[in-house]
Amino acid sequence: MKQAFLIVLISIPFFAIGQNLPEKARVSISRTIDLIKVDGILDEETWGKADVAKDFYQSYPVDNDFATSQTEVKIAFDDNFMYFGIICYDPSPGKYIVESLRRDWGFRNTESVGIYIDPFNDKTNGFSFNLSPYNVQREGLIANGRDVSTDWDNKWYSEVTNFEDKWIVEIAIPFKTLRYKNNLTEWNIQFLRNDVKNNEISAWTAVPQQFRPSNLGFAGKLIWNESPPPPKPNISVIPYVLGQVTKDYEEGTKADPIGKVGLDAKIAVTSSLNLDLTVNPDFSQVEVDQQIVNLDRFELFFPERRQFFLENSDLYARSGFPSSRPFFSRRIGIASDTSGSRVAVPIIFGARLSGKINKDWRIGLMNMQTAARKGSVLPGTENVNGGSNLSGQNYTAAVLQRQLWSRSNIGAIFINRQATQYDPTDSTNSTSAFNRVAGLDFNFADKTNTWIANAYLHASFDPVSKKNAITQGTFVGYQSRHWTLFYGYTFIGDGYNAEVGFVPRKGTFSFGTFRSQYIIYPKAESIVTIKPGIRVNYTLIPNGPLADRSLDGSVEFAFLNTSSLTLGINQQFTHLFRDFDPTRTGGVPLPAGTGYTWGSGRLNFSSDGRRAFSYSVAGQYGTYFNGKKLTTEANIGYRFRPFGSIFVQAIYNDVALPEPHSSTKFWLIGPRIDLTFTNSLFLTTFVQYNEQADNVNINARLQWRFAPVSDLFVVYTDNYFPENFTVKNRAIVVKFSYWLNL
């Protein structure tokens, strides 16, 4: 017994040394000594002499052991490409679990290996490149030191060879695809492996379980034995041609076909500064929004999906707090049609300069011009003259950001909306002549995101500006092995008006936004973590009464088989400052000046996502204002991997209020069929029945990626009245785009 204890005691330091600790992990990159053929076979002499990143360590479900499925990574370069040769050992029997053959697949349920590169050495921004065993690519941009957005697309090349006990990856990433600082011979880099069969996520450098594996704070070092090649002139042009037929049956318009041409261009001003140009852009191929039930008093947030707005979007989109964003790119070029669906307002041109000026300074400058549109109002804009015509608009967004310490920054932002050819005597104008926002943002993060803090101060300016046209906020967060603690406050003046931003509620002071969660790592093999937590929020009207109070308690269970369970209770108080119908049916509203306290309980369960058949269910029941509300939701589907999936989402709401107020029951049902015939041919079909919006929407999108980042799209859209399936509007679009490197 004493001998066994002594062996364990002696082995502890060796086990700790065996981890690739971020501050000590190094892997070198050398120039190729022969021609690399990207074929998934590492038979070149270069690979035999390359340095190896190995000994991957688990990050999930535990972080105290080596990975079951080990990975080895080798790196090389020539004048045009970075090359990666990766061996993914697979000792566990069974087929690969791969969600689909579609590019940018979901990370959690797909076996994969990934490269996370920070060529700026700021541990804040970077690029990710992931690959499944079926050679399906997924690339993204890293922002905020950990967050990965896969909406970004660019060119890179890969091949995979599969064996019984491993799969081998060979990757070539063009230097033209990357943004990097010239003559910088140390980059931050991380490699991740998602072993879905064993429910393990492992990393080259050790990442504690409470942090995201993509956290660049735990990245190791990539050492260049000679400087990366100097950036070469890099100009890419992506022209498109489009044919479209649209008919609005409600307005009785003719189904006249139209043609359209346009282009995007990407110009590398420097190795880390990029200029994007667009002329007459079209975003008809962008995936439609998933409809959401809205029983709230305020506007709902929908994410940006359009490619032009995405690279370096964190410069603009993360300014302020979620309750007060000065810039929301969906305000540009999107309005609402007769069915309440979002439709395009023509963008004439746009330009965006973004990236690193040097190691300390980062810049973002965007200008967009839209055409006039009759009979539409951009969501969130104020119809100051009571009309419904939208003038042409010019939008400018400018950010200058200075890095502080290792992972912090301070930045200044300026947003301007300017109506073009504005006529102040025209009573049908839907906007004022201009609206502007200016302000400062400070973002702090320590080396690993254990401590984070944010603060901002913004002010708005326009011809109808009022007093208190400012907003400010402060946030502090702490995350350790067991504790997650957040506190913040936000003040939004009643005169603050950010028309190009997302500010669902003004004239408030949220001073008690507090969240606490404790992480338990139980010894039970079937449970990974248990997370009890509380959330508290108090919102006041300055110099007025309490507006809202929310008290929430919950406990989250994460199971080893990837399923999860959440139980929670909530108490809410709301003081109405305006008449409000909680059913949104146009019935007798609850009167302004009244206050309501209600509470509810909820349950959420998600099944094992690795199985072909999976589901999630949720339910919430309790009081609601002066009545009761039941909400149930189910998402059930089957994956016939890797060629597609069929899922059906169903949401049911039953709101019962006493007379004379309205009661209502309504469904939101959304079947989705996602077929991936090959890794270049995809079909996605949505059918969304929204009883609240009195609309049935059908959207089918066929995509053929016939060359890297070059596509043929066929998109069909219908909107119907659900009671008799009378057509509201209908459209079919055929779009062809091609990426040219000049």
DSSP-derived secondary structure for 47-67: HHHS-EE---EEEES-SSSB-
Written as six digits, the tokens of 316 are: 């603009």
- Phi/psi at 365 (5° precision): -140, 120
C-alpha 120/C-alpha 186 separation (Å) is: 9
Positive or negative: CA dihedral 591, 593, 599, 604: positive
Residue keyed to tokens 């998402």: 635
Q: Strand, coil or helix: what is 197?
A: helix
CA distance 304 to 7: 56
Q: What confidence score (pLDDT) does residue 2 get?
A: 43
Distance CA 92, CA 164 (A): 10
Task: Quickly count: other Cβ atoms within 10 Å of residue 296's Cβ.
Answer: 12
Distance CA 641, CA 612 (A): 7
List the structure tokens of 524.
Answer: 């039970």
What is the structure's pLDDT at 336? 54
In the DSSP assignment, the letter for residue 551 is: E
- The two tokens of residue 497 are 């008006």
How many Å apart are CA 129 and CA 150, to the nearest integer?
10
Tally Cβ neighbours within 10 Å of residue 336.
13
Are 15 and 135 in contact, with CB atoms under 8 Å apart?
no
Chain centre distance of CA 739: 24
Q: Spell out the domains of the chain, with CATH numbers in brackets.
A: 17-224 (2.60.40.1190), 298-502 (no CATH), 507-670 (no CATH)
- Secondary structure of residue 250 in the 3-state scheme: coil
CB–CB of 731/700 below 8 Å? no
Whether omega before 642 lies within 30 degrees of 0, making that bond cis, reads: yes
Q: List the Cα angle 403/408/414 in 5-degree steps.
A: 65
Q: Residue 200 is which amino acid?
A: E
Nearest CA to 189 out of 67, 86, 70, 262 is that of: 86
pLDDT at 191: 98
Listed in sequence order, the residues at least 6 apart from 732 whose beta carbon sits closer than 8 Å to its beta carbon are 244, 245, 714, 715, 716, 717
- Mean pLDDT by runs of 10 across the 742 residues of the chain is 39 49 93 97 97 96 94 97 98 91 90 96 92 96 88 91 96 93 90 96 95 94 94 88 91 85 91 91 77 71 79 88 94 64 79 90 95 59 45 94 92 95 75 93 92 97 86 96 95 94 92 92 93 96 89 97 97 93 89 95 96 96 96 96 94 95 93 94 94 90 93 94 89 94 84
Q: For residue 4, what pLDDT is reported? A: 40
DSSP string across 542-579: TTS-EEEEEEEEEEEEEETTS-EEEEEEEEEEEE-SS-
CA gap 418, 370 in Å, rounded: 11
Find residue 187's DSSP bridge partners: 222
Q: Beta strands 112-118 and 508-518: pairing type?
A: unpaired
SS3 state at 452: strand
